[in-house]
Amino acid sequence: MGRYDPMARPRVLVVDDDPVTRFVIREALSTEVDVLEAGDGREGLRTFFSGRPDLVLLDIVMPEMDGRQVLSRIRELADTPVIMLTVRDESSEVVRHLEEGADEYLTKPFRPQELAARVHALLRRAGRASDQVERRIEAASGQIVLDLHAQRLWVRGEEVSLAPTEFRLLTCLAREVGRPVSTAQILRQVWGPGYAGETGYVKTYVRRLRQKIEQEPESPRIVVARRGLGYMLVERVGAARPVGDV
């Protein structure tokens, strides 16, 4: 999928079997966004591949194919931002959706203004340029190399693909390489000011990031926790004593 261009009119795909919900979302977004719609999971996948949306709003409980199955298929081929729509807001449920590849979630019933704000914020974050920061950052004794302008990552000489939120998290840590970044700072920079209490987001995405860059994710030596201080991308491997979590 192409990168989000803030000068172009973005496309948002709404996959939900409830026509009232689709109407509410369309009314909330259609003045600034082209809204594509699908009434079930299979139709949603067809529309996703034909319409090439910049973001997906995905209901969990649907006929034909549920939202988790649709998300899994999307993540096999694309890193398009996905916001899950759910009637359940238990922390375990939220964490599971994030671990399965969702970027955010929104609990039904939601306020249209909040939905619109989250959609626009995620679109901006997904396409944000990195012109203000240095182009190349190396860390972990050269094991990690990031090209922030091209949004590319090399781990021990091999290019590794990250989802947009994973890359924003790594970039947040890389800008302060060798220094711990607090959970509050990470939430503010990666997700935005409206997510101050969502500490589970950080733990989930740190775990996902470690799975992709650490040789032993359960004994991390590149993205380490400093208890009471936050998470840190090490400058040199072995320079910081690893701690399991914040």
Q: What is the pTM of this model?
A: 0.56
Residue 224 bridge partners (DSSP): 232
Residue 159 bridge partners (DSSP): 154
What pLDDT, on the 0 to 100 scale, is given for residue 217? 94
Angle between helices 164-174 and 112-127 (to 10 degrees): 60
Distance CA 217, CA 224 (A): 10
Edge-to-edge strands, sheet with 82-86: 34-38, 11-15, 55-59, 82-86, 104-107
Q: Locate all alpha helices (DSSP H) within 16-90, ordered by sequence.
A: 19-29, 41-51, 67-77
User: Would strands 144-147 and 136-139 be described as parallel, antiparallel, or unpaired?
Assistant: antiparallel
Instruction: Please list the pLDDT of the chain residue by residue as tens digits (246 residues).
Output: 444 444 467 899 999 999 999 999 999 998 889 999 999 999 999 999 888 899 999 999 898 889 999 998 888 777 889 999 988 766 666 777 787 888 888 989 999 999 999 998 888 877 643 333 356 889 999 999 998 777 889 999 999 999 989 999 999 999 889 999 999 999 988 888 778 888 999 999 999 999 999 999 999 999 999 988 999 999 998 755 555 566
Domains annotated for the chain, with CATH where assigned, are 11-127 (3.40.50.2300), 136-233 (1.10.10.10)
Identify the three-state secondary structure at position 105.
strand
Instruction: Return the number of other C-beta atoms located less than 10 Å from residue 111's C-beta.
Output: 11
Cβ neighbors of 128 (< 8 A, separation 6 or more) are none
Q: Choose among 145, 139, 140: nearest CA to 221.
A: 140
Distance CA 234, CA 239 (A): 7
What pLDDT, on the 0 to 100 scale, is given for residue 183? 93
Cβ neighbors of 52 (< 8 A, separation 6 or more) are 1, 2, 11
What pLDDT, on the 0 to 100 scale, is given for residue 130? 33
